[in-house]
Amino acid sequence: MFNVNSLDYTGVLDLSIVSLKRWDGVTDEEALEAFKRVSRLEGIIPALETSHALAHLEKLCPTLPDGARVVLNFSGRGDKDVQTAIKNLEV
C-alpha cells in the first residue's frame, strides 16, 4: 500500500550498520488506525510515516517500566496523506 523508503534521503542513518539488531514492525492497517485515532482525538493529522511509529508505540508502551519516558517526533505533514488514508480507511 505505502512505501516509506527513508534510506534514500541524505543524512538518514542506515540502521543495518548499527549493532542494535532489533526490528519491529506494524501493518499498514495498524498505521491507518493510528492515523485515524490521532486525527480524531488530538486534531493533528500525522504523516503516514509517523502513523507507523504511533502504531508501534501502542505496542511498545505496555512493555516499558513504570515511569519510562518516550519521545516521538511528528515528522512531515499528514495533510499530504489524507487522500491515501481516505482511500484505504472506512471513514
Q: Sketch the domain layout of the chain as residue ranges.
A: 22-88
Specify the pLDDT at position 1: 44
46: closest CA among 63, 54, 61, 27?
Answer: 54
Residue 7 Cα distances to 3, 15, 24, 71, angstroms: 11, 9, 17, 21
Specify the pLDDT at position 26: 92
Specify the pLDDT at position 3: 46
pTM of the predicted protein model: 0.69
80: closest CA among 51, 55, 40, 56?
Answer: 51
pLDDT in tens, the chain (91 residues): 444 554 455 566 666 666 666 678 899 899 999 999 999 999 988 998 899 999 999 999 999 999 999 999 888 788 888 888 878 876 5
48 contacts 77 by C-beta, under 8 angstroms: no
SS3 content of the chain, % helix, strand, coil (to 5): 55, 0, 45
Specify the pLDDT at position 89: 76
Instruction: Write the class of the CATH domain 22-88.
Output: alpha beta
